[in-house]
Amino acid sequence: MLISLTMSLSINAQENANTRQARQIFDKTYNMVFGPQGCNLTYAVNIVGVYKTEGTIWMKGNKQKFTEPRFSAWSDGKDFYRVDKKKKTIEIHNPHSAKRDKYASKFKFVADNYIYHITAKGNDFIITLDAKKGVDGVKHAKCVIDKRTREPKSLKIKVMLFWCTVKISHFHSGINDESIFRFPSQDYKGYEVIDKRPD
């Protein structure tokens, strides 16, 4: 019994150390992406059987800009502008509204709601996240992080019954010119404006 107890305590200690290391590395990368300095990166998204797209995104605090082949969006923290180049429309939303993006509400994430585990493979760390009981939104995630730079390389997320994969490249932490978050209305003259505020 004493041997079993000792082995159990040893395994728990190893698991706790692994969890702590995983969370520390995850937090560093997470802050490189979502910290106050901002960042920009190129992404390729595949929500299996539902949606595929690729583009570039810039983020800093509550400000955001992204460009894709069909859609582009700007948010200066006060208003969110979404351009549909195919329909030639501009939708204006409250930047905090889930209605601005039909997928946004499904990818709710709070870092403390997960159990973390880390493994190493080649030049990368692989961090897995499993949602604690009762957590809505993201249930499981797998993050691939560069060992040397701590930059994110890919992300695989499970929401309900489907998986979403995100391949990340051209990552850069830090944005100085915040004028990029202002909507360039002069570039979309003739587009139909659909104001959804307040939403």
What local confidence, expressed as pLDDT, does residue 2 receive?
44
pLDDT above 70 for 15: no
Report d(CA 129, CA 44) in Å as an integer.
21
Q: Provide the pairing of β-strand 192-195 with 89-93.
A: parallel
Query: Is there a contact between 79 and 197 (Cβ–Cβ < 8 Å)?
Result: yes
Region 76-98 average pLDDT: 92
CA distance 129 to 104: 19
Average pLDDT over residues 25-54: 92
Which domains are delineated in the chain? 2-195 (2.50.20.10)
Task: Return the percentage of the chain with pLDDT > 90, whole number.
Answer: 69
Q: Please check the confidence at residue 5 and state whether its pLDDT lies above 50.
A: no
